[in-house]
Amino acid sequence: MRQLYPLKFTPIMKDRLWGGDKLQKLFNKPSETDTTGESWELSAVAGNVSIVSNGDFSGTSLQDLINEFGAALLGQSVIDRFGADFPILIKFIDAKQDLSIQLHPNDELAKERHNSFGKTEMWHIMDADPGAKLIVGFNRDVDKQEYIDSLKTDTVLGLLNHEEVVEGDTFFINTGKIHAIGAGVLLAEIQQTSDITYRVYDFNRRDKQGNLRELHTELAVDALDYKKKDDFKVSYSTRRDSVNSMVDCPYFKTEYLNLTRDFSQNVSGRDSFTIYVCVKGEAKVTNDWGFATIKKGETILVPAASKRIDITTAGAKLLQVTI
């Protein structure tokens, strides 16, 4: 049987109305436009399934690997919860302009309405222009009618919480929380495998054909959390050469590795795949059957059957994601 070494994938590039050129300039992504908004690094979303770019499995889709290797790739506990559906979607997002204001439904609503998972996500800021901001939640408690009236009178921005950001800031966006990525922000997004978004405000702008983009006002009303909550900014340790917890939720667990030297982990009891997203520096990631190199703006999937992961580096900052 072919052995499951650390896997890299060809980025799936997405042109967006609000996109820019930082993905190409800073991460050397294969972008051909100056409005590239997203690089899907690891995806099993239908129609956007990642393809292996390194080693013997080069040219093989993530879904084909799951179908062939099952628990050896994903982990039995992951199979038990999600079957053959890869549960995580990893993206880099470059906002040259403000993204639309939006929210995501929870699992129950998403299943009922779209036969999909909901969308819980986290953001890690990788680059931010001076003064760049995010919108996360309301700035006070509001009720449904006040929110609906603010959309009609074009005053919804006055109800929202604006957060200025710098590189390294991290945010957890649970379902139902209204949010938007602001102009000048480049971030890594870790999320449930779902592409269900309710767009509620888009600054009245038009696409390249001159059309207003679709809004999902009615769908959003019953999916929205109207309470002001300060539960979104993630406080985490950057202690060197150790595993620092960032987010631990039912859908993914993310940890921060601030490495100044070689680092090894015994993962024989993990029963989950491990994803590494490199946010600074570079490293060589080795498991029982091979290795792959990773640098800033790249992602690696290490299969669950791995007993040990060795990271060789003179300096790297990595997000480590498991289920």
What are the structure tokens assigned to 57, written together? 């499995």
Please give the chain's pLDDT, 323 residues, in tens: 579 999 999 999 999 999 999 999 999 999 889 999 999 999 999 999 999 999 999 999 999 999 999 999 999 999 999 999 999 999 999 999 999 999 999 989 999 999 888 899 999 999 999 999 999 999 999 999 999 999 999 999 999 999 999 999 999 999 999 999 999 999 999 999 988 899 999 998 887 788 888 999 999 999 999 999 999 999 999 999 999 999 999 999 999 999 999 999 999 999 999 999 999 999 999 999 999 999 999 999 999 999 999 999 999 999 999 99
271 and 210 share one domain: no
Q: What is the pLDDT of residue 301?
A: 98
Domain with 284, as residue range(s), is 244-322
197 and 52 share one domain: yes
Return the half-sphere exposure (C-beta side, CA atoms, 13 A cut-off) of residue 162.
Answer: 11
210 and 265 share one domain: no
CATH code of residue 198: 2.60.120.10
Distance CA(194)–CA(18), nearest Å, equals 21
Q: What is the pLDDT of residue 1?
A: 56
Q: What is the pLDDT of residue 18?
A: 95
pTM for this prediction? 0.95
Locate all alpha helices (DSSP H) within the chain, ordered by sequence.
22-27, 62-69, 71-74, 76-82, 107-114, 144-152, 217-221
Among residues 159, 190, 221, the one where a domain terminates is 221
Distance CA(57)–CA(53), nearest Å, equals 8
Structural domains counted in the chain: 2
- Location of structure tokens 């997000």: 319
Distance CA(70)–CA(84), nearest Å, equals 7
132 and 278 share one domain: no
Residue 60 within a domain: yes
Residue 4 within a domain: no
